[in-house]
């Protein structure tokens, strides 16, 4: 399936309205590290650790990953101004230790990753997409660049672990489409997303969840929703920090006239941004949910492209 053939978002206009066994206070990474992290290209080969990585220059190519395959230790050079698409389908595949250096200025409006699992369990771990895309990056259908697009046919399970996504002109992890088709689940764990448009973490199916993760928006970023839950749900949110700085909606439930449910535990969200309950949806806030968020980069999540490619964050 072509990666830029995503359905239109009829609700894509912004509306205002912890870590596995540790608390956020234990993490050594901080939002300050986002601004100061090194993103220079360097030379392919052995980085600060002992792991070799391959340098790949973006040249409008498509890389295909199939069942049982592992694609790892890649440094993708986006400074060419061209696009690159990575597709992973079948089942039981793995993408790990991948860093993208440079902003995506291709203007293609594609998804960098187009993925699904047909019935097994696949993994995406230790990936850096922190340099984002420029604001003109849009296709004829009106989409900007998406980081991860989960195909509607996804019927298995995908784990996202230690992924850093920032500054994308469309969704960071767009994983709601299987709610209308394949019904597969997605678990986003120990991930960081910041300053993306439309939404940061977007889920739909029962068993899908966001845990131990953060969303951050500042005044200069794209002001997308923190977490957007589509039907049928129920979507779970646990131990997360949603620091929206009053922008958009921290947790938005329901879309296109269809209700869903979100269960939130051990999480802090921005009270000014608040929660949205659309089309009869419910957002169930547990007693341990607060309104004093402090976004963090989870331990083990890369803060630069080279760190990801070399596997140094693990």
Q: Which of 16-25, 109-118, 257-266 has the lowest mean pLDDT?
A: 16-25
Number of domains in the chain: 1
141, pLDDT greater than 80: no
Spatial separation of the C-alpha atoms in residues 310 and 314, rounded to whole Å = 9
pLDDT at 137: 59
**72 dihedral zone (left: phi>0; alpha: psi -120 to 50; beta):** beta
Query: What three-state secondary structure class fits 264?
Result: strand
pLDDT at 6: 45
In a domain, 276, yes or no: yes
In a domain, 16, yes or no: no
Instruction: Choose among 192, 171, 218: nearest CA to 308.
Output: 192
pLDDT band at 21 (very low <50, low <70, confident <90, very high): very low
pLDDT band at 14 (very low <50, low <70, confident <90, very high): very low
pLDDT band at 95 (very low <50, low <70, confident <90, very high): very high
In a domain, 284, yes or no: yes
What's the average model confidence in pLDDT over 22-47?
Answer: 37
Cβ atoms of 159 and 128 within 8 Å: the answer is no
In a domain, 148, yes or no: yes
In a domain, 12, yes or no: no
pLDDT tens-digit profile of 60-88? 999 999 999 999 999 999 999 999 999 99
In a domain, 7, yes or no: no
pLDDT at 28: 30
Residue where the block lists tokens 């597969």: 184
Between 255 and 37, where is the model more confident?
255
Cβ atoms of 226 and 250 within 8 Å: the answer is yes
The torsion angles phi and psi of 56, rounded to 5 degrees, stand at -125, 125
Residues linked to residue 98 through DSSP beta bridges, in sequence order: 74, 127
69-90: string of b/e by CB count within 10 Å (b at 16+)?
eebbbbbbbbeeebbbbbbbbb
What's the average model confidence in pLDDT over 136-153?
Answer: 78
In a domain, 15, yes or no: no
In a domain, 46, yes or no: yes
Cβ atoms of 156 and 121 within 8 Å: the answer is yes
Spatial separation of the C-alpha atoms in residues 189 and 21, rounded to whole Å = 13
Strand order in the sheet with 199-205: 61-65, 84-88, 111-115, 146-150, 173-175, 199-205, 225-233, 251-253, 275-277
pLDDT at 19: 28
| DSSP-H helix ranges across 174-269 | none
Cα–Cα–Cα angle for 29, 31, 37, nearest 5°?
75
Q: Which residues contact residue 2 at a Cβ distance below 8 angstroms, ignoring those fewer than 6 apart?
A: none
Q: H/E element holding 305?
A: helix 305-310
pTM over 0.75: yes
pLDDT at 144: 86
pLDDT at 161: 98
- Residue 105 C-beta-side C-alpha neighbours within 13 Å: 8
Give the residue numbers spanning the domain of 118: 24-310
Cβ atoms of 159 and 121 within 8 Å: the answer is yes
Cβ atoms of 299 and 34 within 8 Å: the answer is no
What's the average model confidence in pLDDT over 246-252?
Answer: 97
């Amino acid at each position: 399936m072509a990666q830029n053939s995503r359905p239109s978002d009829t609700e894509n206009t912004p509306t205002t309205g912890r870590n596995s066994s540790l608390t956020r206070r234990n993490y050594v990474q901080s939002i300050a590290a986002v601004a100061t992290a090194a993103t220079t290209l360097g030379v392919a080969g052995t980085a600060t650790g002992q792991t070799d990585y391959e340098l790949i220059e973006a040249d409008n190519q498509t890389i295909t990953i199939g069942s049982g395959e592992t694609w790892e230790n890649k440094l993708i050079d986006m400074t060419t101004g061209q696009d690159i698409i990575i597709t992973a389908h079948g089942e039981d595949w793995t993408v790990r230790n991948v860093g993208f250096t440079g902003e995506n200025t291709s203007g293609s409006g594609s998804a960098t990753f187009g993925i699904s699992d047909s019935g097994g369990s696949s993994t995406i771990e230790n990936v850096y997409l922190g340099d984002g895309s420029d604001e003109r990056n849009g296709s004829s259908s009106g989409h900007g660049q998406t980081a991860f697009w989960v195909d509607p046919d996804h019927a298995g399970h995908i784990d996202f672990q230690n992924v850093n996504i920032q500054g994308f002109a469309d969704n960071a992890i767009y994983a709601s489409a299987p709610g209308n088709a394949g019904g597969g689940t997605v678990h986003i764990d120990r991930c960081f997303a910041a300053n993306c448009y439309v939404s940061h973490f977007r889920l739909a199916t029962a068993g899908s969840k966001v845990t131990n993760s953060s969303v951050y928006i500042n005044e200069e970023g794209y002001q997308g929703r923190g977490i957007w839950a589509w039907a049928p749900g129920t979507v779970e949110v646990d131990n997360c920090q949603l620091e929206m700085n009053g922008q958009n909606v921290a947790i938005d439930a329901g879309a296109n006239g269809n209700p869903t449910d979100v269960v939130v535990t051990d999480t802090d969200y921005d009270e000014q941004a608040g929660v949205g309950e659309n089309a009869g949806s419910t957002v169930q806030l547990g007693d341990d949910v607060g309104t004093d968020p402090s976004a963090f980069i989870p331990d083990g999540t890369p803060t630069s492209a080279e760190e990801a490619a070399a596997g140094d964050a693990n």
